[in-house]
Amino acid sequence: MSATLFLEQGLNGLQFGLMLFLLAAGLTLVFGIMDMINLAHGSLYMVGAYLMASFVQATGSFWLALPLALAATGVVGALLELTLLRRLYARDHLTQVLATFAIILIANEAVRLVWGSQPILLNAPPSLTGPVTLPGGMQYASYRLLIIGVGVAVAVLLYFLVAKTRVGMLVRAGASNREMARAMGVDIGRLFTGVFALGAALCALAGAMLGPILAVQVGMGENILILAFVVIVIGGIGSIRGALVGSLLVGIVDTGGRAFLPLLFGTFLPPQMASAAGPAIASVLIYLLMAVVLYFRPQGLFPARG
Amino acid sequence: MKRFAGLATALLLACNAQAADQLKIGFLSTLSGPAGGIGVEIRDGFNLALKLAGGKLGGMPTEVVIADDTLNPDTGRQLAERMLRRDRVNLMTGIVFSNVMLAVWPTLQQAKVFYVAPNATPTAITGKGCSPYFFSASWPNEAHHEAAGEFANSKGFKNAFLIAPNYPAGKDALTGFKRMYKGAIVSETYSKLNQLDYSAELAQMRAAHPDAVYAFLPGGMGINFIKQFVAAGLSKDTQLIVPGFASDQDVVRAVGDPMLGLFDTSQWAYDLDNDANRRFVNEFEKEYRRIPTLYAEQGYTAALIIDQAVRDAKGKVEDEKAFHAALMKAPERAKTPRGKWKEAANGTPIQDYYVRALVKDRQGRIVNRKIATILHDHRDYWAKDCPMK
């Protein structure tokens, strides 16, 4: 194993983690602040990617389409909150799961009606389609570097928003004690609509950024949603910091497992067994990680509620 | 009440009398969910053939009962039972996925209803467990992978890196490839089913520096992989080879230019030089405004085979011996876009496989152009285990 490969896999883990963070950030905000299990988060991610693809087609520019897709998905999210989800806050988690699961099915069929049942085209801007050579001679996909950059930027912005602004203060107040915040005169209704729209816009950002390296197709949200849930459970529900640490942990453990476990097993197992055991263990590694974290810290690494 | 029962009996009799001069086909397929696009292609091809035949297959008024298994084996089995009991279909077709096929199969076999496969043809049904009620109008499950292995030989690729999802069809695929491929295998990697990010595997490929990569990653996984493979710059000195169902027009529409330069293997190509194929491609484009995929060809061909067999058996689908004989001869008589082929006793085609290159045509569309015939009159490897000879 050369040092370059080791470094490249590290970068891959970081990149995959930040990819998950884009989705997990919105999910943890909604889950933590509204105490609402929103399975339809993945559907907003799908809608975001499809809208992005359509805007790229219409405008011919990736960078022009990006803000349009974010805004449009934010509006979709706000409408969803105002018309439907608002009625679910007072219900128990099971009802929320059922209702938002129904939204997944409806969203999938709606997208199929509008865009057809086959995957659609969404590619990276022409300047970012190939690899670049990093210092040290390592080749790395330029678009993946962009994902790393956007992930870091979102993390910094969200940290600033939540920790340093007045809106962030209200959000934190809502997360730690909703009733008290209401009693202090915070308009919880408007705050929740705003948070949900922000979560939806983050979904769209994830969909738009990941579309060029993943398939834009019906049901694309369900796969990644499971990982996003793992991330926020590890990180502690409602905490942006937790989501960031959780997604980096999941990204690095998952990538590292796939990259190094087969090699590691090869050193002390016969090749036949190593090639069978490597992928099998690697594919459950993140769930093992989740189990271990929950055993020692049942609230996750950085619980938002005390 | 008695009068009512009498009326019901009369109605029932009337229904039965009608059923004898009409063909009822159960089309059970995966039409929704992430993989729903494949079933839609097969259905569109099938419906096109039915429409061109004036709504009559084998000269008989034909009704097609369509149902969606949603890629759930249990749902598939229930729907198949409903089609057999309530709708009383004479024939079944349409299934996309092997796992659904294997779940539905015992029900069909028990009911002694013929099944014409427009896609999945699992080795469990063509080998030891072969049956006269199963007829594949597509390909045995491992054939595309065998063709890819042979193609890698013909290109002189000295070593290859193989990747497939960690599930039964993934292992079968790589087994098929390895059966034919004579070069060295650098690595045989099994990735997670529905994996999103392939950067770890791509880094290993870059480090291993193989001549060729063979990737069997169906559906969205293939789209993810191809996009990431090209973005990582690996396509510059490593040849990517895929089976045809990971790179046809449905994938091309989603990936675009990164597809160029790939090679795939298929039992059919849009530019096969025969009249039946030109008619199929023209009519399909006119009807649906898109280039057909190999799946559409399979659906279309399945309908043509049924048409021929029903005609040759003079409409007597219920006469099992006569219909089976007509079915087995149908591929030699029907004018399919693939041309004529012989059906082996285990119900699998003995046919040619092609290598196709992903290139731009004159109108600037990305197409899968045939460049060579890689396997001639290729048989299902598992036919040797079938007791029917």
Q: Do strands B159-165 and B91-93 pair parallel, antiparallel, or not at all (unpaired)?
A: unpaired
Residue of chain A minimizing CA distance to B224? A214
Question: What residues of B are in the A interface, CB distance below 8 Å?
Answer: 31-34, 36-37, 40, 166, 188-192, 194, 196-197, 199-201, 203-204, 206-207, 219-221, 223-224, 227-228, 230-233, 250-251, 253-258
Q: Both tokens of residue A283?
A: 């594919």
Angle at A216 between CA A242 and CA A258, to 5 degrees: 55
Residues found in chain B: 389
B237 & B282 share domain: no
Assign domain A8-128+140-296 to a CATH class: mainly alpha
Alpha-carbon Rg for chain B in angstroms? 22
The residues, any chain, with a CB within 8 Å of residue A206's CB and separated by 6 or more, are A19, A22, A23, A26, A45, A48
B156 & B242 share domain: yes
Q: Looking at the domain assignment, is residue B388 inside a domain?
A: no
ipTM of this predicted structure:
0.87
B178 & B247 share domain: yes
Q: What secondary structure, in 3-state letters, does chain B show? A: CHHHHHHHHHHHHHHHHHHCCCEEEEEEECCCCCCHHHHHHHHHHHHHHHHHCCCEECCEEEEEEEEECCCCHHHHHHHHHHHHHCCCCCEEECCCCHHHHHHHHHHHHHHCCEEEECCCCCHHHHCCCCCCCEEECCCCCCHHHHHHHHHHHHCCCCEEEEEEECCHHHHHHHHHHHHHCCCEEEEEEEECCCCCCCHHHHHHHHHHCCCEEEECCCCHHHHHHHHHHHHCCHHHCCEEEEEHHHCCHHHHHHHCHHHCCCEEEECCCCCCCCHHHHHHHHHHHHHHCCCCCHHHHHHHHHHHHHHHHHHHCCCCCCCHHHHHHHHHHHHHHCCCCCCCCEECCCCCEEEEEEEEEEEECCCCCEEEEEEEEEEEEECCHHHHHCCCC
B254 & B291 share domain: no
Q: What is the pLDDT of residue B32?
A: 80
Domain count, chain B: 2
Q: Looking at the domain assignment, is residue B387 inside a domain?
A: no
Q: What domain range is B67 assigned to?
A: 2-139+274-343
Q: What is the pLDDT of residue B12?
A: 47
Q: What percent of chain A has pLDDT over 90?
A: 56
Q: What is the pLDDT of residue B20?
A: 58
The more confidently predicted of residues B292 and A5 is B292
Q: Look at A184-188, A279-283, A292-296, B181-185 and tell me which has the smallest mean pLDDT.
A: A279-283
B180 & B326 share domain: no
pLDDT tens for each residue of A182-230: 888 888 888 889 989 999 999 999 999 999 999 999 989 988 999 999 9
Q: What is the mean pLDDT of residues A258-265?
A: 83
The pLDDT-based confidence of A277 (bands split at 50, 70, 90) is confident
Q: What is the pLDDT of residue A184?
A: 86
Contact of B200 with B187, CB cutoff 8 Å: no
**Could you tell me if A217 lies within 8 Å of chain B, comparing CB atoms?**
yes
Q: Looking at the domain assignment, is residue B348 inside a domain?
A: no
Contact of B350 with B377, CB cutoff 8 Å: yes
Phi, psi (rounded to 5 degrees) for B131: -150, 145
Q: What is the pLDDT of residue A1?
A: 56
Provide the shortest C-alpha distance from residue A176 to chain B (in Å): 34
Q: Looking at the domain assignment, is residue B389 inside a domain?
A: no
Phi, psi (rounded to 5 degrees) for A246: -60, -45
Provide the shortest C-alpha distance from residue B220 to chain A (in Å): 5
Q: What is the pLDDT of residue A90?
A: 84
Q: Looking at the domain assignment, is residue B39 inside a domain?
A: yes
A130 to B233: CB separation less than 8 angstroms, yes or no: yes
**Could you tell me if A106 lies within 8 Å of chain B, comparing CB atoms?**
no
The residues, any chain, with a CB within 8 Å of residue B1's CB and separated by 6 or more, are none
Q: Domain residue spans in chain A?
A: 8-128+140-296
Q: What is the mean pLDDT of residues A143-168?
A: 92
Mutate to test the interface with B, among A1, A7, A8, A11 (most CBs of B within 10 A): A8
Give residue for tokens 């962009």.
Answer: A146
Q: What is the pLDDT of residue B265?
A: 97
Q: Which of A112, A213, A259 is opposite residue B227, by nearest beta carbon?
A: A213
* Per-residue pLDDT at A145 exceeds 60: yes
Q: Do strands B184-191 and B56-57 pair parallel, antiparallel, or not at all (unpaired)?
A: unpaired
Q: What percent of chain A has pLDDT over 70?
A: 98
* Per-residue pLDDT at A300 exceeds 50: yes
Give residue for tokens 């992978």.
Answer: B145
Kindly state the DSSP code that residue A38 receives in the 8-state scheme: -
List the CATH number of the domain containing B182: 3.40.50.2300
In angstroms, the CA B222 to CA B229 distance is 10
B249 & B322 share domain: no
pLDDT tens for each residue of A50-80: 999 999 999 999 999 999 999 999 999 999 9
Strand partners, B63: B24
Contact of B310 with B59, CB cutoff 8 Å: yes
In angstroms, the CA B81 to CA B108 distance is 8
B262 & B332 share domain: no
Residue numbers of chain B with a pLDDT score lower than 50: 1-2, 10-19
B197 & B262 share domain: yes
